[in-house]
C-alpha cells in the first residue's frame, strides 16, 4: 500500500494514475471487466446455440425491428463519445464541464434503457413471454443482462455526479470517473457484438 511511482513520472501522469494506491483500483477493474467478458461470452454462446430453437414461438425475423434497435445503437454509441469527452475535460481539470458531459452520458444511457424496456414490453405483449422458446429465453437474458449493466452504470454515474459536485476533481474522484468510463466503453463494445450477432444476423437468416 506504500508503493510510490517515481516523482518525475508522477507529474507526467494523469491525475488518476498519480497515486499508486488508487491505480490498484484501475488494474482491479480491468480484471473485473475481463471476468465480465467471460460472463457475456457464455451468454453469447447460449444464444448462438438457441437462436434457431424457436419451438412454437416467434422467430428472430418476426421479433426484431431494426429501426428502434438502430436508434438504441446510436444513443449508446453517442453516450460513449460524450463519456470520452467527459474524461477529456477531467484531464483539463474542468469540473463543471466534466459533470455536464457525464450527466449527458447518463441521460443517453437512460434513453437507451427506456427504449429497450419499451421494446421488451412490446415484444411480450405481441408475442408472449420468454417461456415459449429457448430462443426467446436466451435473447431476453443476453440483451437483458446488458441492459441491467447499463442501468447499474446509470446509478453509478449519478453517484459520481453527487461526489464530483461535493468534492470536485481529486485523485479519488478522478480514479472513480476513469473506472466508470472503462465500464461504459466496455458496455458499448458488448452492444456492438449484440447488434451484430443478435439483431443483424437475426435479420439475415
Judged by the rule CB under 8 A, the positions of this chain that interact with another protein are 1-3, 20, 23-25, 27-28, 31-32, 34-36, 38-39, 41-43, 46, 49-50, 53-57, 129-138, 140-141, 155-156, 159-160, 162-163, 172, 176
| Closest separation in Å from C-beta 45 to another protein | 8
Q: Kindly tell me which of 75 and 169 has the beta carbon lying closer to another protein.
A: 169
| Closest separation in Å from C-beta 74 to another protein | 29
Q: Which of 34, 46, 38, 37 is nearest to 198 (CA)?
A: 46
SS3 track for 142-157: HHHHHHHHHHHHHHHH
End-to-end CA, the chain: 54
Q: Kindly tell me which of 43 and 87 has the beta carbon lying closer to another protein.
A: 43
Q: Kindly tell me which of 20 and 126 has the beta carbon lying closer to another protein.
A: 20
| Closest separation in Å from C-beta 25 to another protein | 8
| Closest separation in Å from C-beta 71 to another protein | 27
Buried b (16+ CB within 10 A) or exposed e, 169-200: beebbbbbbbbbbbbbbbbbebbeebbeebbe
Residues 6+ apart with CB under 8 A from 173: 160, 163, 164, 167
Read off φ and ψ for residue 144, nearest 5 degrees: -65, -35
Q: Kindly tell me which of 78 and 201 has the beta carbon lying closer to another protein.
A: 201
Q: Kindly tell me which of 52 and 114 has the beta carbon lying closer to another protein.
A: 52
Amino acid at each position: 500500500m506504500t508503493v510510490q511511482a517515481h516523482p518525475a513520472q508522477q507529474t507526467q501522469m494523469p491525475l488518476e494514475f498519480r497515486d499508486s494506491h488508487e491505480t490498484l483500483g484501475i488494474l482491479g477493474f480491468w480484471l473485473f471487466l475481463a471476468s465480465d467478458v467471460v460472463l457475456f461470452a457464455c451468454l453469447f454462446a447460449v444464444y448462438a446455440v438457441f437462436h434457431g430453437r424457436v419451438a412454437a414461438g416467434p422467430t428472430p425475423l418476426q421479433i426484431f425491428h431494426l429501426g428502434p434497435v438502430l436508434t438504441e445503437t446510436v444513443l449508446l454509441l453517442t453516450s460513449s463519445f460524450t463519456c470520452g469527452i467527459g474524461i477529456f475535460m477531467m484531464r483539463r481539470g474542468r469540473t463543471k464541464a466534466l459533470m455536464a458531459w457525464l450527466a449527458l452520458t447518463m441521460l443517453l444511457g437512460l434513453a437507451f434503457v427506456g427504449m429497450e424496456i419499451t421494446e421488451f414490453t412490446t415484444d411480450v405483449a405481441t408475442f408472449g413471454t420468454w417461456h415459449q422458446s429457448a430462443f426467446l429465453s436466451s435473447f431476453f437474458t443476453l440483451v437483458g443482462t446488458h441492459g441491467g449493466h447499463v442501468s447499474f452504470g446509470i446509478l453509478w454515474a449519478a453517484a459520481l455526479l453527487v461526489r464530483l459536485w461535493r468534492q470536485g476533481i481529486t485523485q479519488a474522484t478522478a480514479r472513480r470517473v476513469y473506472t466508470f468510463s472503462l465500464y461504459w466503453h466496455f458496455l458499448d463494445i458488448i452492444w456492438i457484438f449484440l447488434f451484430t450477432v443478435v439483431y443483424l444476423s437475426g435479420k439475415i437468416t
